[in-house]
Amino acid sequence: MAGAGAQLRRVVALVLLACCSMAPAATARGMSAGIAHNITSFLSGHPEYKQYNRYLTETRVCDEINARGGVTVLVLGDGAMSTLVSDAGADLGAIKNALRLHALLDYWDVKKLKALPTGADTLTDTFYQAAGGAATSATGSVKMAKLEGGGFGFASAASPGDAYDATFTKALKQTQYDFAVLEVSAPIEFDGLFDGPSVASLTRLLEKAGCKRFAALIASTGVLKDYQAAMADKAGLTLFAPKDDAFLAKGAPDVDKMPRADLVALLRYHALPGYNPRPSLKLVKASARPFRTLASTAGGKYNVSVVARGDDVSLDTGLRKSRVAETVLDDTPVCVLTVDRLLMPLELFAGAPAEAPSPTPAPAPSPADATLSSPPSPPPADAPSEAAADHVHKDVKASSAASLSVGALAAAACSAVLASLL
């Protein structure tokens, strides 16, 4: 009988519901709402952090914090925040770096701080590091320690010895494993924290990201100067840097033999005027117009199309596609992403053999289908989440990150099964 089947399904669903609700509460909330917490609205209930909250909003660092679970925000009262703003020369980009350094990629509450080992520093990663701003991993981390006279000290891991910029003053919020807000006495800073993405650091970043060849080419052709001009512009720059392998791949042009003007066009083609970080690229609709590149002409030659499918983003030159791989730098208004193949514009390589047409892609589910049948998506987490997993340096307690991700997996599995049953 049809009714019995339906009833059985309902029973199974109920059992699953019960087991899903045993997943950590924070995870379940994060999954269902798509947002685990809202730092802006939390701090708006505490007027003594008005400046801090204002800058979190202006720099959009609040969105980064809200998008993931297992974070600790070290907030500053208005007095300490005004010190930070003046140290940063009131420059929004510089303040953004500092706010990201004050947002830790792990959950720290008073209980965990009390369990810190005595006489040794414990390192924790930060959003600053995850965003690619750090020149070395030390400058992106924050060290914590139990202080001799009691209390807890915080400083950049790049600071020498046992000097701590800031001490813990109080806990404002401790939602286990998800979200902690702790007040500290003074800003955490280090030499270079307030530097924007300079040309020197761009080259260094590219080299570090495995794009040495590209870095050398943009320097020798002078295209680096064009990038620099775009970086200084308010609209910003999005750079797609091919990895070193891409120059050796089958079908790649021999850049050493290209006429100079063509090579310049090719390199300029790898940059978009404007700030388009990965999360924004992911939202580009299939019907969207192609993007202008730094090589584009008034007539729309040298445009490139962005193709987003789920978590995957590719660039289509009309000749072939190249996948957008990692975020090397995301520092408004500049972002640098790597691509796994050279972007070969049709305008330059029309004569080259086009690659075999890819099989017709399956039709994308319509938005209505998606909302009906897919499980709620986890909070968007780009760069920070990748960095999070492998850096719980000397955390003495059981890793909260690990338990959180197990919980998240369980919850995701449960909701998927539930969605198919209900």
Ligand X SMILES: *[C@@H]1O[C@H](CO)[C@@H](O)[C@H](O)[C@H]1NC(C)=O
Q: In whole angstroms, how close is the CB of 54 to ligand X at the nearest point?
A: 12
Query: Could you tell me how many residues of this chain bind ligand X (CB under 6 A)?
Result: 12
CB of 243 vs ligand X, minimal distance in Å: 26
Q: Which of residues 309-348 bind ligand X (CB under 6 A)?
A: none
- Pairing type for strands 71-75 and 179-184 reads parallel
Contact 163, 147 (CB under 8 A): no
Local structure of 367: helix, strand or coil: helix
CB of 171 to ligand X, least distance (A): 21
- The first and second tokens of residue 22, run together, are 């045993």
Tell me, residue by residue from 53 to 72, as one string, x for binding to ligand X by CB under 6 A and - for no binding: -------------x------
Q: How far is the CB of 305 from ligand X (least distance, A)?
A: 8
Task: Name residue 229's amino acid.
Answer: A
Q: Among 55, 152, 164, 291, indicate the residue that binds ligand X (CB under 6 A).
A: 291
Q: Is 79 near ligand X (CB under 6 A)? A: no
Cβ pair 329, 336 in contact under 8 A? yes
Nearer to ligand X, 292 or 393 (CB): 292
Nearest residue (CB) to ligand X, 189 versus 347: 347
CA neighbor of 211 nearest in space, from 271, 154, 251: 271
Other Cβ atoms closer than 10 A to 195: 14
What is the spatial distance between Cα 401 and Cα 241, in angstroms, rounded to a whole number? 31
CA 256 to CA 263: how far, in whole Å?
A: 9
35 contributes a contact to ligand X by CB under 6 A? yes
- 397 makes contact with ligand X (CB under 6 A): no
Question: Which residue number, 27 or 159, has a Cβ lying nearer to ligand X?
Answer: 27
If one asks whether residue 46 binds ligand X (CB under 6 A), the answer comes out as no
User: In 3-state terms, what secondary structure has residue 415?
Assistant: helix
Secondary structure (3-state) at 70: coil
Q: Which residue is nearest to ligand X (CB)?
A: 300
Q: Are 72 and 107 in contact (CB under 8 A)?
A: yes
Residue whose CB is less far from ligand X, 153 or 345:
345
Residue that the structure tokens 């930060």 belong to: 126
Q: Any contact of residue 38 with ligand X (CB under 6 A)?
A: yes
- Binding positions for ligand X, 271-290, rule CB under 6 A: 289-290
- Positions in the binding site for ligand X (CB under 6 A): 35, 38, 40-41, 44, 66, 289-292, 300, 303
